[in-house]
A and B are shown apart, each in its own frame.
Chain A
Amino acid sequence: MLQNFMKNVWTPLKPYYTQVYQEIWIGMGVMGYTVYKIRSADKKNGLPFPSPVHFTEEETEANDIK
């Protein structure tokens, strides 16, 4: 399976992943770092990481009571 992956995906796309998209990897790293900082800040304040928009009604009431 790994051989198939190397032959079909990695070998044709190797110049892209290694040279052309270097800056995109850097961008993804910066964005991942930002997400990590936001998530850890939320954890420090006791909030769950998906923001309250995605709560169901019971959880919203429970948070309001708190």
Chain B
Amino acid sequence: MNENLFAPFITPTIMGITTLPIIMIFPCIILSTPKRWLPNRIQTLQIWLIRQITKQMLSMHNTRGRTWALMLMSLILFIASTNLLGLLPYSFTPTTQLAMNIGMAIPLWLATVIMGFRNKPKVSLAHFLPQGTPTPLIPMLIIIETISLFIQPLALAVRLTANITAGHLLIHLIGSATLALSSISMTVSTITFTILFLLTILELAVAMIQAYVFTLLVSLYLHDNS
């Protein structure tokens, strides 16, 4: 049972060689770039969707923040497509691995912090002290704000990992419960199946929302520091 529960989260290997690069590049196949002026329907739909998301996400940034448009859009598309593809049975989701999410979160967060200190050092330092704090509280508050700054990348990574992993695990558990109950009591099994159905819809939403939240927070850190 132990090995069975954790099996979806082990990186697949073919004869000892990890297949992770292929899995991570795989969503690129479903996102195609048009070579003509009037592309086909799928490409038009994708381009329209990407434009809508771009407009909504980048509306709050200034010119310097908008140079990150490529990075933010690649981020949200990658996370959303890998999360959604991971909902298929027997598939592997790279975003369940904490290593990968930390690998995404730390460089981006650190880049926003360095950008802030490089371009607007006074304003970046001023972020450590909210306006209107009473004087005796200032030392403690600076410590708290520094800790909260350093927790940001870890929170970004762990939030994504935990949400996707917990969702996959729940689907696995409730699915096996439904199967086990089907030989004991059909009504209870049907109720469990309904729960499974609703859970899958929730997971679909969570997959996309998590992508959105990750990208939104990175863009928020960018906005603070650009």
Do A and B associate with each other?
A: yes
**Which of A's residues lie within 8 Å of B, judged by CB?**
16, 20-21, 23-24, 26-28, 30-31, 34, 53-54, 56-57
Question: Closest Cβ of chain B: how far from A53's Cβ, in Å?
Answer: 7
- With contacts A54-B11, A57-B3 taken as known, whether A27 is within 8 angstroms of B106 at the C-beta atoms is yes
Q: Say whether chain B's binding surface is mostly helix, strand, loop, or mixed.
A: helix
User: Please, could you name 21 A-B residue pairs with CB atoms under 8 Å apart, sorted by A?
Assistant: A16-B67, A20-B67, A23-B111, A23-B115, A24-B71, A24-B111, A26-B110, A26-B111, A27-B106, A27-B109, A27-B110, A27-B111, A30-B106, A30-B107, A30-B110, A31-B106, A31-B107, A34-B106, A54-B11, A56-B3, A57-B2
In the complex, B6 has a CB within 8 A of chain A: yes
In the complex, B10 has a CB within 8 A of chain A: yes
- With contacts A31-B107, A57-B3 taken as known, whether A23 is within 8 angstroms of B10 at the C-beta atoms is no
Cβ-Cβ contact count across A and B, 8 Å cutoff: 42
Q: How large is the interface on B (under 10, 10 to 19, 20 to 34, 35 or more residues)?
A: 20 to 34
B109 contacts A23, C-beta separation under 8 Å: no
B71 contacts A27, C-beta separation under 8 Å: no
In the complex, B34 has a CB within 8 A of chain A: no
**Which of B's residues lie within 8 Å of A, judged by CB?**
2-3, 6, 10-11, 67-68, 70-71, 102-103, 106-112, 114-115, 118
A27 contacts B107, C-beta separation under 8 Å: yes
Given contacts A20-B67, A23-B118, could you give 10 more A-B pairs where the C-beta distance is less than 8 Å?
A23-B110, A23-B114, A23-B115, A24-B107, A27-B109, A27-B114, A28-B107, A31-B102, A53-B6, A54-B11
Residues of B within 8 A of A31 (CB): 102-103, 106-107, 110
- Which of A23, A24, A28 has the largest number of chain B CB atoms within 10 A? A23
Residues of A within 8 A of B10 (CB): 54
Residues of A within 8 A of B67 (CB): 16, 20
